[in-house]
Amino acid sequence: MTTPYSHRPGTDDHAAPPPGCPAHGLVADAFGDHLAPSGLRRLYGPEAERDPMGLYEKLRAEHGSVAPVLLHGDVPAWLVLGHSENLHMTRTPSQFSRDSRRWRAVNDGSVPPDHPLAPIFTWQPICVFADGADHERLRGAVTDSIGRIDHRGVRRFINRYSNRLVNDFCQDGRADLVSRFAEHLPMMVMAQILGMPEEYNERLVESARDMIKGTETAVESNAYVMAALDRLVARRRAAPDEDFASWLVEHPAGLTDAEVAQHLRLVLIAAFETTANLIANVLSGRNFIRCNTAVGVHINSRLPPMSWSAPCAGSVWMARRAA
């Protein structure tokens, strides 16, 4: 690893920003970017939001496949950028644990309970935070329930809700397809699959988006989503139906109410976020225009290369070194 220099030729103390200025105390690197006083790059803030892929390339150039970074609040962490390194980390539970309670920053108080990323890394009784037999038990319940989804029924939901959304804005002559279509269709369909179509509303969409962005309201947004899921679990304990929530409740693994609710959140957010981003990338990309104007070109042929250049999921895998 290398650490960027804090001083460049041609600079002096008089050129430094005055105390109180937002740029004061930052370090400029070889790319001309402002870094944290520690010389590390932040995975939040203007640069990360404006060009995350460009940020990753700079990290690769500076550090290679594993880079030291800062999370919200300048909490230090390691970002794994290499494909083989990610595979090694995810496939070696004896060395890297999924249990976020092992994270030193949590244990020493560096990361408070109200941290903007708390909805993402706070330990919950779910498969992504479990190792060994617990992981297999919980993951099995989720995959078995996913296997029971009627894909033909899902297609009907997609067609129904797509028509409903388009009808809502077609008379206007123009619309922001990301905010009025891409962000709503996945949530409408997932609410139906989970068994809570009555819970769908604008705030559920906004909360699902907000809770994983590391905002000041992320914890509150997570609480809103969990309240809806807790209500769903209570209803399905009393009266099971043919939906995802009921399948988890009735699974032989014997999940508790907390385990069911948290896995519903896991599936809901994972499906919603990735699908909404994929639809948005398709609708806003140049390939979408070409596919609608070119003869014999199907949009499916454009999805793989688009996903390579603009992945629909940009989450950071947060593993802890096993004891």
The per-residue pLDDT for 26 is: 42
Share of the chain above pLDDT 90, in %: 55
In the predicted structure, residue 159 carries a pLDDT above the cut 70: yes
- Residue partners of 308: CB distance under 8 A and separation at least 6: none
pTM over 0.85: no
Q: What is the pLDDT of residues 176-218, one digit of tens each?
A: 999 999 999 999 999 999 999 999 999 999 999 999 888 889 9
Q: What is the pLDDT of residues 82-137, one digit of tens each?
A: 889 988 988 888 889 999 998 888 888 888 888 999 998 899 999 999 999 999 99
The per-residue pLDDT for 314 is: 62
Q: What is the pLDDT of residues 214-261, one digit of tens each?
A: 888 999 999 999 999 999 999 999 999 999 999 999 999 999 999 999
Domains of the chain: 13-96 (no CATH), 142-318 (1.10.630.10)
In the predicted structure, residue 263 carries a pLDDT above the cut 90: yes
Count the helices and strands in the chain (H runs, E runs).
15, 7
The per-residue pLDDT for 290 is: 57
Residue 194: which H helix or E strand, with range?
Answer: helix 185-194
Share of the chain above pLDDT 70, in %: 77
Q: Distance between CA 115 and CA 72 in Å, rounded?
A: 8
121: closest CA among 283, 318, 302? 318
Residue 106: which H helix or E strand, with range?
Answer: helix 104-107
